[in-house]
C-alpha cells in the first residue's frame, strides 16, 4: 500500500490569488463596462531587453548546428555564466565568490523551496511576518513546520514586521536553527540596513544558525548604503546561503534563470555535534542527482545581462518600474495614505485608512476605483491592515489607477 506524505494534508490551501480573482470576476460580471486596472500583479510586464533577445537568438542558432549544439550542460551551470556572476554581482562590492560556490538554477523559487532537503527535518525555523509563502510551505511539506495552531505553525518562530517596529524584525531571544530573510522585502517593499544585517550575521555565528537570504529584488536598490548581498557583512560566508533571480531583475519570469550561492565555509553539524559538513558539497550532490541544469538558451540570455549594453538596458527597465513606484508613492501619500516601501523595491505597502481590514479595503477600492490590490493579510497575520501594490504595471495603467483612486478617496 502506497502511503501519501501526510504533511501535505496540513498545507492550508493558498486561496489568496484565487480569492482575488473570484472577487474581481464577480465585480466584472455585475459591472460589464468597468475597466479594471490591477496594481496587485506580482509579475513583470515589460519585454526582455534587446541584448537578452539577441543572445537568445544566437543561442538558438548554436543549437541548430552540429558544431555548436549543446546537450546536457554541467548541473551547476555553465562556467561562462558563473564567472560573469562572480565578476559582476560580487567583485565590485568587494566580495570574493568562487564560481564553484555558484549554482545556476531555473529561478529562485525552486532553490528556496528545495534547500531544506540538505538539513535535518527537525531543525527549527524562523521567518519574518508577513512573508513570501514558499519559505513556510516548503517546510510544512517535510514536517519541519510542525502543526498549525491558531494560524501559526508550532515549530516556526514568527518575527513580526509592523509599523510599530518600522518593519525591522526583532532578533529571536532563543536559538533558531534556520532563518529566512528576504531583502528588499516582498511584500512590504522595505529594506535592511547594514547594521541590522550585521546583527543577524552575528546572531547566526553565535547560535550556529543558517540564514537563507533571498536577494531576488537587490537590483531595485537605489540607496547606496543598503546592502545588496549578505556577503557584504563580515562572517556571512560561514552562515548564509544567498538566492538570486533574474525574474524581477531582467524580466525572466517566463525565461527561468537564477542562482544560489553556497560558500565553502558554510557547514552544519552532525547529530552528535562532533563533525561539521560543508553544505556546498551536499548541495552539489543534491543538484547533480535531482537537477539537470538550466537550459543553455536561458543561461546565454542571463550572460547578456552582464554586457555593457545589457546592464544599461536592464537598468532602464528597472528605472521605469521605480518611476512608477515613485509616482504611486507620491500620489497616495498626498491623498493622506500611509505608504511604506516603494523606494528600493517595486512594492508599496499601504496602510488601510481608519483601521479597515485588508479584505474590506480591497473590496472598497475595487468597487470605488476599479483598482485591484493584494490584501496584506494574505502574506501573514502581521499583514492585516495593509495592502500591497506593485509598480510592475504599464506607466499609463498606473497613472489611470492613481487618478481613479484620487477621485474615489476625495468623494
Ligand atoms: C519573485 C520572487 C522570487 C523569484 O522567483 P523565480 O522562481 O526566480 O521566478 C524569489 N523570491 C521572492 C521573494 C520573490 O518575490
267 has a pLDDT exceeding 90: yes
State residue 80's pLDDT score.
98
How crowded is residue 17: how many other Cβ atoms within 10 Å of its Cβ?
A: 13
Task: Please tell me if the CB atom of residue 106 comes closer than 6 angstroms to any atom of ligand 1.
Answer: no
State residue 46's pLDDT score.
97
Output the nine-digit C-alpha cell for 193.
540596513
Residue 55: burial class (beta carbons within 10 Å; 0-12, 13-18, 19+): buried
State residue 367's pLDDT score.
97
State residue 361's pLDDT score.
98
Please, which pLDDT band fits residue 411 given cuts at 50, 70 and 90? Answer: confident
Q: Name the DSSP class of 244.
A: E
State residue 247's pLDDT score.
98
How crowded is residue 83: how many other Cβ atoms within 10 Å of its Cβ?
A: 15
Q: Which of 184, 173, 240, 234 is nearest to 210 (CA)?
A: 240
**What is the best residue among 128, 216, 258, 294 to mutate for testing ligand 1's pocket, by most ligand atoms within 8 Å of CB?**
216
Task: Please tell me if the CB atom of residue 214 comes closer than 6 angstroms to any atom of ligand 1.
Answer: yes
**What is the best residue among 245, 257, 258, 298 to mutate for testing ligand 1's pocket, by most ligand atoms within 8 Å of CB?**
245
372 has a pLDDT exceeding 90: yes
> If you measure from the C-alpha of residue 115 to the centroid of ligand 1, how many angstroms do you get, rounded to a whole number?
14
* Interatomic CA distance for residues 228 and 89, integer angstroms: 9
Task: Please tell me if the CB atom of residue 182 comes closer than 6 angstroms to any atom of ligand 1.
Answer: yes
* Interatomic CA distance for residues 235 and 272, integer angstroms: 25
> If you measure from the C-alpha of residue 2 to the centroid of ligand 1, how many angstroms do you get, rounded to a whole number?
34
42 has a pLDDT exceeding 80: yes
State residue 171's pLDDT score.
96
- Gyration radius of the chain over CA positions: 22
Task: Please tell me if the CB atom of residue 186 comes closer than 6 angstroms to any atom of ligand 1.
Answer: yes
Task: Please tell me if the CB atom of residue 111 comes closer than 6 angstroms to any atom of ligand 1.
Answer: no
* Interatomic CA distance for residues 340 and 361, integer angstroms: 17
Contact between residue 126 and residue 172 where contact means Cβ atoms under 8 Å apart: yes
Which ligand 1 atom is at minimum distance from the Cα of 248? 1
308-334 and 50-64 are packed helices; what angle lies between their axes, rounded to 10 degrees?
Answer: 140
State residue 14's pLDDT score.
72
Determine the average pLDDT of the residues in 98-106.
98
18 has a pLDDT exceeding 90: no
State residue 20's pLDDT score.
93
Task: Please tell me if the CB atom of residue 213 comes closer than 6 angstroms to any atom of ligand 1.
Answer: no
Task: Please tell me if the CB atom of residue 249 comes closer than 6 angstroms to any atom of ligand 1.
Answer: no
- 375 forms beta bridges with 387
- Provide the phi-psi class of 80: left if phi over 0, else alpha when psi is between -120 and 50, else beta: alpha
Task: Name the residue at shortest CA distance from atom 4 of ligand 1.
Answer: 108
Please, which pLDDT band fits residue 12 given cuts at 50, 70 and 90? Answer: confident
Q: Which of 2, 258, 7, 253 is nearest to 116 (CA)?
A: 7
Please, which pLDDT band fits residue 162 given cuts at 50, 70 and 90? Answer: very high
- 149 forms beta bridges with 152
* Interatomic CA distance for residues 275 and 70, integer angstroms: 40
% pLDDT > 70, the chain:
100
Tens digit of each residue's pLDDT (9 = 90 or more) over 316-337: 999 999 999 999 999 999 999 9
> If you measure from the C-alpha of residue 1 to the centroid of ligand 1, how many angstroms do you get, rounded to a whole number?
37
Tens digit of each residue's pLDDT (9 = 90 or more) over 268-290: 999 999 999 999 999 999 999 99
Tens digit of each residue's pLDDT (9 = 90 or more) over 358-370: 999 999 999 999 9
* Interatomic CA distance for residues 169 and 396, integer angstroms: 36
Task: Please tell me if the CB atom of residue 130 comes closer than 6 angstroms to any atom of ligand 1.
Answer: no
pTM of the model: 0.97
Task: Please tell me if the CB atom of residue 156 comes closer than 6 angstroms to any atom of ligand 1.
Answer: no
Task: Name the residue at shortest CA distance from atom 8 of ligand 1.
Answer: 107
What is the greatest pairwise CA distance in the chain?
69
How distant, in Å, are the alpha carbons of 37, 87, 313, 366, 403 from that of 346? 17, 26, 17, 21, 20
Q: Whole-number mean pLDDT of the chain?
A: 96
15 has a pLDDT exceeding 80: no
13 has a pLDDT exceeding 80: no
What's the first-to-final CA gap in the chain, in angstroms?
64
Higher pLDDT, 117 or 410: 117
Contact between residue 158 and residue 152 where contact means Cβ atoms under 8 Å apart: yes
**What is the best residue among 131, 132, 188, 191 to mutate for testing ligand 1's pocket, by most ligand atoms within 8 Å of CB?**
132
Amino acid at each position: 500500500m502506497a502511503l501519501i506524505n501526510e504533511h501535505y494534508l496540513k498545507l492550508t490551501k493558498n486561496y489568496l490569488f484565487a480569492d482575488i480573482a473570484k472577487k474581481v470576476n464577480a465585480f466584472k460580471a455585475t459591472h460589464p463596462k468597468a475597466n479594471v486596472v490591477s496594481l496587485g500583479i506580482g509579475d513583470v510586464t515589460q519585454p526582455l531587453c534587446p541584448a537578452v533577445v539577441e543572445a537568445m537568438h544566437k543561442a538558438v542558432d548554436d543549437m541548430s548546428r552540429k558544431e555548436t549544439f549543446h546537450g546536457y550542460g554541467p548541473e551547476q551551470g555553465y562556467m561562462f555564466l558563473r564567472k560573469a556572476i562572480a565578476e559582476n554581482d560580487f567583485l565590485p562590492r568587494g566580495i570574493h565568490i568562487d564560481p564553484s560556490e555558484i549554482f545556476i538554477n531555473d529561478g529562485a523559487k525552486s532553490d528556496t523551496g528545495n534547500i531544506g532537503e540538505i538539513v535535518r527535518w527537525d531543525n527549527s525555523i524562523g521567518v519574518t511576518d508577513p512573508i513570501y509563502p514558499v519559505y513556510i510551505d516548503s517546510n510544512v511539506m517535510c514536517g519541519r513546520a510542525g502543526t498549525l495552531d491558531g494560524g501559526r505553525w508550532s515549530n516556526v518562530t514568527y518575527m513580526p514586521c509592523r509599523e510599530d517596529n518600522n518593519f525591522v524584525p526583532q532578533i529571536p531571544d532563543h536559538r533558531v536553527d534556520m532563518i529566512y530573510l528576504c531583502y528588499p522585502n516582498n511584500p512590504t517593499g522595505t529594506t535592511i540596513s547594514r547594521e541590522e544585517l550585521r546583527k543577524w550575521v552575528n546572531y547566526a555565528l553565535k547560535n550556529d544558525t543558517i540564514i537563507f537570504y533571498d536577494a531576488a529584488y537587490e537590483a531595485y536598490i537605489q540607496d547606496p548604503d543598503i546592502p545588496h548581498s549578505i556577503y557584504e557583512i563580515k562572517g556571512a560566508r560561514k552562515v548564509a546561503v544567498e538566492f538570486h533571480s533574474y525574474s524581477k531583475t531582467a524580466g525572466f519570469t517566463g525565461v527561468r534563470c537564477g542562482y544560489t550561492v553556497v560558500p565553502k565555509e558554510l557547514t552544519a553539524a552532525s547529530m552528535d555535534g562532533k563533525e561539521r559538513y560543508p553544505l556546498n558539497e551536499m548541495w552539489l550532490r543534491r543538484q547533480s542527482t535531482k537537477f539537470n541544469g538550466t537550459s543553455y538558451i536561458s543561461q546565454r540570455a542571463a550572460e547578456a545581462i552582464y554586457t555593457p549594453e545589457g546592464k544599461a538596458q536592464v537598468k532602464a527597465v528597472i528605472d521605469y518600474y521605480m518611476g512608477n513606484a515613485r509616482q504611486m508613492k507620491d500620489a497616495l501619500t498626498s491623498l493622506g495614505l500611509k505608504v511604506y516601501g516603494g523606494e528600493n523595491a517595486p512594492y508599496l505597502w499601504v496602510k488601510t485608512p481608519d483601521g479597515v481590514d485588508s479584505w474590506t479595503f480591497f473590496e472598497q477600492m475595487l468597487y470605488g476605483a476599479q483598482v485591484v490590490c493584494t490584501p496584506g493579510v494574505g502574506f501573514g497575520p502581521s499583514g492585516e491592515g495593509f495592502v500591497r501594490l506593485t509598480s510592475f504595471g504599464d506607466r499609463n495603467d498606473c497613472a489611470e489607477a492613481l487618478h481613479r483612486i484620487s477621485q474615489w478617496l476625495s468623494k
